[in-house]
């Protein structure tokens, strides 16, 4: 089953590169990605080749993240930062994991 992860990124250069590099170092391929930026808020929604290792990587980076059911919510191309913030979005399964 495909798992969509949502992480909030810091508004600074290299924050996306830090996540991608950490996943790559563990052999995890990003298989799908959607990014949303509004003002200084940003969120990244992605799928990977290895959800279990992705969870470990996010934990090691100290990133709070949420997991979403790809069949039970909003289509990724229609998301806003508010949808991805974890405040009751239609795609939220309630299985959020925070750091």
For 12, counting Cβ atoms within 10 Å of its Cβ (0-12 exposed, 13-18 middle, 19+ buried), the class is exposed
99 part of a folded domain = no
91 part of a folded domain = no
Task: Give the count of domains, the chain.
Answer: 1
Domain range for 18: 4-84
89 part of a folded domain = no
The domain that holds 79 is classified in CATH as 3.30.2130.10
Query: What pLDDT digit, counting tens, does each position of 3-60 carry?
Result: 999 998 888 889 899 999 999 999 999 999 998 877 767 788 999 999 999 999 999 9
Instruction: Report angle CA 40, 41, 46 to the nearest 5 degrees.
Output: 135
97 part of a folded domain = no
61 part of a folded domain = yes
Query: What pLDDT digit, counting tens, does each position of 59-87 carry?
Result: 999 999 999 876 655 555 565 656 555 54
DSSP label of 96? -
Q: pTM for the complete prediction?
A: 0.68
């Amino acid at each position: 089953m495909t798992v969509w992860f949502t992480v909030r990124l810091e508004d600074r250069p290299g924050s996306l590169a830090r996540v991608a590099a950490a996943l790559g170092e563990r052999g995890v391929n990003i298989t799908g990605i959607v990014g949303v930026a509004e003002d200084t808020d940003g969120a990244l929604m992605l799928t990977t080749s290895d959800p279990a290792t992705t969870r470990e990587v996010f934990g090691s980076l100290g990133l709070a993240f949420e997991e979403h059911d790809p069949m039970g919510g909003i289509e990724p191309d229609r998301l806003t930062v508010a949808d991805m913030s974890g405040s009751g979005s239609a795609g939220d399964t309630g299985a959020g994991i925070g750091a």
